[in-house]
Chain A
Amino acid sequence: MARIVGAVTTSHIPAIGKAIARNLHEDPYWKPFFDGYPPVHRWLEKVRPDVAVIFYNDHGLNFFLDKMPTFAVGAAPEYRNADEGWGIPTLAPVPGDQRLSWHVIERLIGEEFDLTTCQEMLVDHAFTIPMALMWPGTGPWPVRAIPVCINTVQHPLPSAMRCYKLGQAVGRAIESYDEDLRVVVIGTGGLSHQLDGERAGFINKAFDIEFMERLPADPLWAARRSISELIELTGTQGIELLMWLAARGALGGEATTIHANYHIPISNTAAGLMVMERRAA
């Protein structure tokens, strides 16, 4: 049976892609951010996932307002990145796992999550930057991926509780799969930031730190809050913590933090990183 080896949650700020391309890992501005990742690399080498299920939000690459799914699951043979309009380097296509995708889709719809299914799906920086952070270098990707896109563009957004429950259902779907696979769940985005309006530049360090401390043992602390309350606390784009809640939901059970990093600012954002594993029963 497939097994979830753990969850990684990370920011996906576009500037990271440019910094990787320019090899700025030791630059004083970037070092406190990039120094968070070698422990993740060592952890990934230890747990050796075959598949990554990635909860992310599209920023107007694959989806426009003409058709905006609340939840969309990839079922493509591979996932390509493309020009997003402001120039970050594109990455090699990431292979998919269509059979596992359809298993997850069937289980989720069976649990009354009414999804959009995508046999073609462009993935933007919210998918590719975490991939590049997890598995740096130019070699072939060591994992197959299943993207799960959650709408953060068009309000009303799905509630935090719904995203958490979607994650829980994804976790159950993976663990009911008949193939012997190791699966890592990744949630991308956040933490607090706001790009638009007179409130641009809003960051809430106190909330972010408490969120990260509580996420392993008490995810409902955040998940029970309304979208407007979360936006007030974290900013209009800080709401991307929905991806963290979905990934935490997929991990299930009692969890424990293996590694964490937090740094302000990267671009306009409080950058967060966590690795969590399920606590042994």
Chain B
Amino acid sequence: MSRPRPIPGTTLFDGEQAIKGYALNKMCYSFNSAANREQFKQDEDAYCGRFGLNAQQREAIRRRNVLDLIAAGGNVYYLAKFAGILGLDVQDLGAQQTGMTKDAFKAKLVAAGR
């Protein structure tokens, strides 16, 4: 599979990522249902097992680490549903991925408008 010139700090969700992340993304897609979110919360490991997540994906879920989830094939649109369970908004996710505090990340967004 050919890939365009890389963009720093960016993973395009192409075929290679799609293959790698299918189980993880399928699990996160299931979180559209409130009943499924509840089942996940009751027993995270069993829920991950049901979708066949590999060790890397389970560890990234356990650590709530967005960059690791992306590295494990996660697609941001489905990962957003996992973040929803955790009560994290997109500034929380941005802060975590950039190693900033949430306030610093929000200040960076405001600065982009100047």
A contact residues vs B (CB 8 Å cutoff): 15, 59-61, 64-66, 82-87, 153-156, 194-201, 203, 205, 226-228, 231-232, 236-237, 263-265, 267-268, 270
A265-B80 in contact given A154-B18, A200-B98 (Cβ < 8 Å)? no
User: How many CB-defined contacts (below 8 Å) exist between A and B?
Assistant: 129
Which A residues are CB-close (under 8 A) to B112?
Answer: 201, 203, 205, 264-265, 270
- Chain B residue at minimum C-beta to C-beta distance from A229: B4
Query: Does residue B14 face the partner (Cβ distance < 8 Å to A)?
Result: yes
Which B residues are CB-close (under 8 A) to A153?
Answer: 13, 75, 77
B29 interface neighbour in A64, A155, A197, Cβ under 8 Å: A64
A264-B110 in contact given A85-B81, A226-B4, A228-B7 (Cβ < 8 Å)? yes
Interface size class of B (residues with CB under 8 A): 35 or more
Which B residues are CB-close (under 8 A) to A199?
Answer: 7-10
Least Cβ distance of B113 to chain A in Å?
3
A265 interface neighbour in B34, B77, B110, Cβ under 8 Å: B110
Cα distance, A59 to B90, chains bound together (Å): 14
Query: Does residue B72 face the partner (Cβ distance < 8 Å to A)?
Result: no
Count chain B CB atoms within 10 A of each CB in A84, A195, A197, A232 and give the residue with the most: A197
Which A residues are CB-close (under 8 A) to B7?
Answer: 199, 228, 231-232
What 1/0 mask marks residues of chain B from 17 to 33 whose CB sits below 8 Å from any chain A CB?
01000100110110111
Contact B113 A200 (CB under 8 A): no
Which B residues are CB-close (under 8 A) to A83?
Answer: 32-34
B8 interface neighbour in A15, A196, A198, Cβ under 8 Å: A198
Cα distance, A270 to B76, chains bound together (Å): 18
A85 interface neighbour in B26, B31, B109, Cβ under 8 Å: B31
Contact B9 A84 (CB under 8 A): no
Count chain A CB atoms within 10 A of each CB in B5, B7, B85 and give the residue with the most: B7
Contact B80 A197 (CB under 8 A): no
Cα distance, A232 to B8, chains bound together (Å): 9
Which A residues are CB-close (under 8 A) to B12?
Answer: 155, 228, 231, 236
Which B residues are CB-close (under 8 A) to A86?
Answer: 80-81, 83-84
